[in-house]
Amino acid sequence: MTPEAKSQAIAAAVILAGIGLVIYFLPTIVMWIAQFSPVLAVVIGSMLLLGFFAIFWLRARYQRNRGR
């Protein structure tokens, strides 16, 4: 395994672990926010879930631009 591949694997593992924790606690977070505003809870929950895909999309874009 090359150092670059190892670095990419570690970065992906850290991102997945962080997102895993957020998704694990997502119901608790959304229910707490829903006490103040149900609409805000939906918006925050959606942003957290879409953030998972946005992080990998941005990382792929960065890697693609870096490779040129």
Residue whose tokens read 């119901």: 27
CA atoms 31, 27, 50, 62: torsion sign:
positive
pLDDT score for 68: 53
Q: CB count, 10 Å around CB of 52?
A: 16
Q: What is the pTM of this model?
A: 0.67
* Amino acid symbol at 48: L
Q: What is the pLDDT of residues 10-55, one digit of tens each?
A: 988 998 898 889 889 999 999 999 999 999 999 999 998 898 889 8
Domain residue limits, the chain: 3-66
pLDDT score for 12: 83
Residues in the chain: 68
